[in-house]
Structure 1
Amino acid sequence: MRDFLNGISLRENSDRTINICVFLLMCFGTAMIASVAVGATKSSIMTVIKAIVKQISFLLASYICIVSANKIITLKRVWRLRAMLLLIFVALMIIPFAFPAIGGSHAWIQLPIGVTFQPSEFGKPLIILFTASAVFAAIRKRKMQESFWKMFSFPLIAYGITLILLVLQKDFGTLMIISGIFYFCLMVPSYPKIQKVQRIATTLLVVGALSAGLLFFVSDIGVNMLKQTPLAHIATRIENMKNPFNDIYGNGYQPANSLYGIADSNIFGKGFGNSSRKYGYLTQADNDYILAVTIEETGIFGLGFILLMYTLIEYRLFYYALRTRDVPKKIILIGTGAYLFMHFALNVGGVGALIPMTGIPLLYISSGGSSILAISLTIGVAQQCISRIREQEMKGEFK
C-alpha cells in the first residue's frame, strides 16, 4: 500500500505551500464553475452535475499530469527527444485547421465526446523545457556557450514555428503568453557571450511596448489601421477597453456586463450563487469572465483569496529560483512564475477593462481542460526542481 501511495504522489521535499495553494484554487474554481453552471439552465439540474463532473475529471487528470511530470520528465530526456516532441506538437497544432473556427480562431480540436482540446496550451511548458534543456546541454558542451544562437538555436526555431502557427490560428492571446514566457526564460542565463543579445531583446521589447502604447492606446492611429485588416476584431477589443459602454448592446455587451457585475458586488459580494450576470449576460461566464462572476458573488474576499494563492505560489517559485545556482532549474522556476503571472495579469486586466480582452483563462479557476493540464505539467516539473534543490541544500552542496 505504501509503494502504491508513493507511486501516485510527488517526490519527497516538494513544496507543500505550492501543493496546498494549487489544491485550494482547484476547489474554489470548481465551486465557481458549479455556480456559473446554474446560470446556463432554467430547469435541469443535470447541467450543473455535468459541469461539476467534467471539471472534477479535469482536476483528477491534472493531478496525474503533476505527478507524471514530477517523476518522469527530465531535461536530459527532453533534450534527447526534442525533435520528436516538437514534431508531435506541430502536428497537433495543424489538426485544428480541419475544424470550424470557434470565436474566430482555429485553435481547438473538437472531440466527439463534446470536449474541445487546445494544443497551443502545451506550447507553454514546452518552451520552458526547450530553453532549460538547451542550457542544460550547453553546460555539458562548452562550444554551445560561444554564441546566443549556438545555445538557443533549437528553442528559437521551436518558438518561430509556434509563432507562425498561432498567427495562422488567430490565437494572439496564447502568442502573447508564450512570447512572454520565452523572453523571461532567455533572460535568466548570464553567460558573457549572450548578454549583448539579451540587452538588444530587452531594448526592442521596451521600444515595442512604448510604440504600441502610443499607437493603440494614447491615439487611435493603430486602431484605425487594424480596422482595415483581417485583425479588425483586435481593434474592437481595444475600443471596448477604452470605453466598454460605447456599444453596450453590441460589441461592448460582455465587457460592459463584466464591469456591471463587479460594481454590483458592493465590495462584499451578493453571496455565493447570487450572481445575476451569469444568467445570459456573460456568454463566457465559466471561462474568460469567470472572475467577474466570482467578484459579484464573493466580493473582495474572493478576489483577495485568488490573489493570495497566486502570490504564495509565485513567492515560493522565486524563493527557490534565487536559492539555486543551477541555471536550468532557475529557468524552469522563473518560467513557471512568468506563466502563472501572465495568465493572471491578462485575465484580470481584461475582465476589468484595464487592457483589451485576450481570451486568456484564469488558471485553476476558469473551466477548460487543456489549460489546467498544461499548467499542471509545468507545476510538476517545477516541484521536481524544488525537490532537488532542497535535497542539495540538505547535503550541504550549496555551502
Structure 2
Amino acid sequence: MLQKGDKEGHFWEKVFKNDLQGMLLPIVLMALIGSINIFSATYIGSITTDDGLWGYAPKHLLFLLVSAILGVFLYRFDYRRLQNVKLLTWVMGLTAVTLVAIYLVGVEVNGARRWIPLGPFSLQPSEFAKLAALLWTAAKLADKPWTKPRFKSMFKPKKGMDQKEVALGYIFERVKYMGYMLLWPIVFAVLTIKQPDMGTAVLIIGFSYLLIFLSGFEKSVFGLSLVAAVLAGIYAARSSSYRWERVVSWFDPWSYAQDKGYQTVQGLLAVGSGGFFGQGFMNGTSKYFYLPEAHTDFAFAVWAQEMGFLGGIAVVFLMATFTFFGFRIANRARDAFGRWLAIGITILISGQAFFNIAMVCGMLPVTGVPLPFVSYGGSSLMMNCMAIGILASIARRSVEGVKPVGTKDTLPSLREETRSRFKPSKSVEPELPGRFVPPDKR
C-alpha cells in the first residue's frame, strides 16, 4: 500500500501486491483455460472409444497436481543452489542420460521416438532439456567476466602481433566463450534432432542463444554465428524429406490442403470460423476428427473456434502480462544468476506460446511446440511448472519482489540472508530495521 506522501504508482500496483502475484495470476488462469479446453477437445474422441466420457481430462488434472507440487517445491528451494557446480553437472548429466535412453527403451509414436515409458505414463526428456539448457547458460553467463553492456575481454595481445592477429585473437576468445556457454544446449539439441524433433531442438539451442545475445555479446561475432546457425538449420531441413515438405507447404498450404498442408489449413479454418464471439464452449466442429492433434499442438485452434477472437486475445493478453512481470522479476533479481535465469525462463514460456500461436495461424511451419499450460502433455506441463517455480523463487528472494509496493522497509542483504548462524561474522555491523542483532553485538 502507498504511504502518505508517496506518488501514486502504476495501475498494476493497485491490483497486485508484488511482481510475484502479477506473474502467477496469468499462469493460473492459463492452466484453468487449458483444463477446460482439453476436456472440450477430447470428449468426442473419448466417448467413441473405451476411454470414457472424461477422456484425457483426469490424466491432465493428475499431471497438473504433480506439476503444481514440483513448482511449489522449487518455489521454496533457493534458486542460487542451482548454480553449484556439482548440482549443475548432475542436472546436465541426468538430462543427457535420459535423452540417450530414448534410443534404448523409448517408444515410437507417429514415426518419432521421443518418449520413455513409465507404466501407464510416458516421459519426454526433450521438454526438460529446454529448461536444463537455460539453466546452464544462465550459470555460465553469471560466472564469466561480463560488464554492462559489453563483453569484458581477457585477451592480452603478445608482442610482435599485427592488427590481424590481434583481431583474430579477440574473435577466437569470444567464440570460445560462446561455445562454452552453448556446450550442453548443443549436446541436447543434437540428441533431440535425432529423435527426430527439429522444432524442439531449435528451441533448446535458440533460447540459450538469445540469452547470450541479450547479455551484450558483440554483434559482429553474434551475426557470424547466427548466419552459421541458419545455414545449419537449412541443411537439417533439406536433409529430411518430411521436414522440407513442411517448409514447402508452409508457403502455400492451400495447394497441399489434402496432404502436406492439411494441419495448417484445418487450423486456419478452425480459428477463422470462430468469428468474434466463437461457436460456444464444446460446440466447435473442428475437433470432430477434422483437426489433428486438437488437444496438443493445435489446442489454441480449438479454443479460438469455441471462444472466438475475444478468447484468443485473452490468451495472448495473459501471456503478455506474464512476460511483463517476468521481466520485472528479472530486473529486480538480487544476483546475476537470478537475472539471467529469470530472463531465460520468461523467454522460454512466452517464446513457446509465440511459436505455437504463430504455427496455428500459419505464420510458421508446423512443429511440435505446445502452448504452455493449454496444450495437453504431462512432460511439458511439469517442465513449465518447474520453470515457474524457479522464477517464483527468484521473485521471492528479490528485494522488490517480496515487499508490498510502495513500502520503504529495509530488507536484509543477500550476505545477511545467507550468512550461517553457526559461524557469525566477528565484525560489529550496524543494526538494520527488521533484523535481529544479538545483545553482545549491539
TM-score of the superposed pair, with normalisation by structure 1? 0.82
2:184 aligned with 1:165: no
Q: Is the 8 A contact 1:286 1:367 kept in 2?
A: yes
| Greater Cα shift, 299-308 or 12-21 | 12-21
Q: How many residues align?
A: 366
| Greater Cα shift, 102-111 or 368-377 | 102-111
2:333 aligned with 1:327: no
Q: What is the aligned counterpart of 1:201 among 218, 222, 239?
A: 222
Query: Aligned partners of 2:220, 2:332: CA distance in 1, in Å?
Result: 24
Q: What is the aligned counterpart of 1:57 among 46, 55, 62?
A: 62
Query: Aligned partners of 1:101, 1:208: CA distance in 2, in Å?
Result: 29
Unaligned runs of at least 5 residues, structure 2: 1-16, 146-151, 155-172, 404-408, 415-442
Structure 2 match to 1:106 = 113
> SS where residue 337 of structure 1 aligns?
helix
> SS where residue 397 of structure 2 aligns?
helix
Query: Aligned partners of 1:93, 1:45: CA distance in 2, in Å?
Result: 32
Note the C-alpha offset of 1:23: 1.0
Query: Aligned partners of 2:72, 2:176: CA distance in 1, in Å?
Result: 33
2:128 aligned with 1:122: yes
Q: Quick check: which one's helix share is greater?
A: 1
Note the C-alpha offset of 1:135: 3.9
Query: Aligned partners of 2:92, 2:131: CA distance in 1, in Å?
Result: 12
Q: What is the aligned counterpart of 2:375 among 366, 383, 388?
A: 366
Structure 2 match to 1:82 = 88
Query: Aligned partners of 2:385, 2:126: CA distance in 1, in Å?
Result: 15
2:394 aligned with 1:379: no
2:279 aligned with 1:270: yes
Amino acid at match of 1:132: A
Structure 2 match to 1:95 = 101
Query: 1:383 and 1:202, CA in 2 relative to 1: closer, same or farther beyond 3 A?
Result: farther
Note the C-alpha offset of 1:38: 1.8
Query: Aligned partners of 1:344, 1:350: CA distance in 2, in Å?
Result: 10
Structure 2 match to 1:4 = none
Structure 1 match to 2:76 = 71
Q: Is the 8 A contact 2:270 2:301 kept in 1?
A: yes
Note the C-alpha offset of 1:13: 6.7
Amino acid at match of 2:117: Q
Query: Aligned partners of 1:298, 1:111: CA distance in 2, in Å?
Result: 36
Question: Whose Rg is larger?
Answer: 2
Q: Is the 8 A contact 1:244 1:252 kept in 2?
A: yes
Query: 1:154 and 1:81, CA in 2 relative to 1: closer, same or farther beyond 3 A?
Result: farther
Query: Aligned partners of 2:339, 2:184: CA distance in 1, in Å?
Result: 21
Query: Aligned partners of 1:155, 1:48: CA distance in 2, in Å?
Result: 48
Note the C-alpha offset of 1:314: 0.2
2:262 aligned with 1:250: no
Structure 2 match to 1:27 = 32
Note the C-alpha offset of 1:201: 1.8
Query: 1:203 and 1:345, CA in 2 relative to 1: closer, same or farther beyond 3 A?
Result: farther
Query: Aligned partners of 1:117, 1:94: CA distance in 2, in Å?
Result: 13
2:333 aligned with 1:312: no
Q: Is the 8 A contact 2:278 2:307 kept in 1?
A: yes
Q: Is the 8 A contact 1:96 1:107 kept in 2?
A: yes
Structure 2 match to 1:280 = 289
1:30-63 per-residue CA deviation (whole Å, 9 max, x = no partner) reads 0000001122134579534242111111111111
> SS where residue 275 of structure 1 aligns?
coil
Unaligned runs of at least 5 residues, structure 1: 1-11, 217-221
Query: 1:395 and 1:138, CA in 2 relative to 1: closer, same or farther beyond 3 A?
Result: farther
Query: Aligned partners of 1:388, 1:145: CA distance in 2, in Å?
Result: 31
2:185 aligned with 1:176: no
Query: Aligned partners of 1:41, 1:381: CA distance in 2, in Å?
Result: 35
Structure 2 match to 1:395 = 410
Query: 1:87 and 1:254, CA in 2 relative to 1: closer, same or farther beyond 3 A?
Result: same
| Greater Cα shift, 180-189 or 144-153 | 144-153
Note the C-alpha offset of 1:206: 6.2
Amino acid at match of 1:168: K
> SS where residue 370 of structure 1 aligns?
helix
Note the C-alpha offset of 1:173: 1.0
Q: Is the 8 A contact 1:128 1:332 kept in 2?
A: yes
Q: Is the 8 A contact 2:75 2:393 kept in 1?
A: yes
Query: 1:263 and 1:94, CA in 2 relative to 1: closer, same or farther beyond 3 A?
Result: same
Q: Is the 8 A contact 2:213 2:222 kept in 1?
A: no
Query: 1:83 and 1:181, CA in 2 relative to 1: closer, same or farther beyond 3 A?
Result: same
Query: 1:145 and 1:86, CA in 2 relative to 1: closer, same or farther beyond 3 A?
Result: farther
Structure 2 match to 1:5 = none
1:111-143 per-residue CA deviation (whole Å, 9 max, x = no partner) reads 331x2210011112112221222344458xxxx
CA RMSD of superposed structures (Å): 3.0
TM-score of the superposed pair, with normalisation by structure 2? 0.75
Query: 1:152 and 1:201, CA in 2 relative to 1: closer, same or farther beyond 3 A?
Result: closer
